[in-house]
Copies of this chain bind each other. A is one copy, B any other.
């Protein structure tokens, strides 16, 4: 793996997407991410997508490159060991990342009593500690009501709020570790999933638009808001997305399709200035009506050839199978990808971190661990427990290795 975060150690107690993704982002940059799970595995251990044999490809995807420790987290002895792992010595240690309720042994004050410079990253649903998940945060966000044609709400399929929250957790963890390095001070860092949504809706201007103008972005199908962009059907039954935001992007689209002269008449017909992106937005249906026959007369390869080297912003729609089978970016020709052999799943294409650090090559993509694969190793390394003691913990059901 990359070594850019060498020396950083994070104990992850998590489930579902956001916190595991935050841990993944750090693990793939070289942090030692120790995922502590209940003996039976976390609640999302069987989450879909799964293989025909029932192995969760979701779990495997989000836990690559981590170490797995199984502990009886419902028993005081298991909690004691988990707390000791968080507090284990080491300059880059003392850091926990979780989306579980932080009470009892996991409360910040309790962890800090063991190690004064503890950093606790805590993801919660809402800022007041109440529950929310990507689905319910998304329904509140305004986006489903402007996705598609507006006839009914359309949920995203990408768990976008979870993904963003995971990356905010990684950012927050590194910011807190920088602060600790400079001042010696640990801290609790809280992040609410709904705040990630609210901040994003605000940062993109949609809250201010509703508040200041009384208007709001309407549902526009696949059209861009305030510029020109739309999907078109090709002769061979494919669809492509085309976008022209800047004046230059608009000019190259008109040139590449040979339809610049027609656009003069669209402008006159619609009575707007299509030299301006707002004008193009207002005239978008007329503009699209001129472009549509051009796409309908061409196959996808012909469109690709016509746009090659022109600077037109466009791309085909692909399903997941086409993405894997046809897109050269989704192959080992892309330096981000490796073929890995994930036990229980098989050999498949797996992504490294999308971040490429000049000072530290990416190295291997390490598969997800088997549940409990590192229990012995971690208890010995971090807590200095002798194998006799570890054996007793296994016998008592306080800790477990890989199931036989």
Contacts and interface: CB of A to CB of B under 8 A. Distances in A.
B208 A61 contact: yes
Nearest to A218: B319
17 contacts: A25-B171, A47-B226, A48-B281, A57-B208, A139-B241, A145-B319, A147-B155, A160-B164, A172-B357, A174-B174, A189-B355, A190-B356, A191-B356, A198-B329, A207-B324, A208-B342, A208-B350
Contacts of A138: 241
Nearest to A233: B152
Given A143-B156, A153-B317, A216-B321, 13 more contacts: A17-B204, A47-B245, A57-B205, A57-B208, A61-B203, A62-B203, A131-B311, A146-B320, A156-B160, A167-B171, A192-B336, A203-B351, A207-B324
A73 interface: no
B348 A207 contact: yes
Interface stretch (A79-87, A175-183, A284-292, A369-377): A175-183
A24 interface: yes
B241 A179 contact: no
Contacts of A350: 202, 208
A224 interface: yes
A46 B279 CA distance: 13
A260 interface: no
Interface string A45-86: 011111110001111111010000000000000000000000
A326 to B, nearest CB: 10
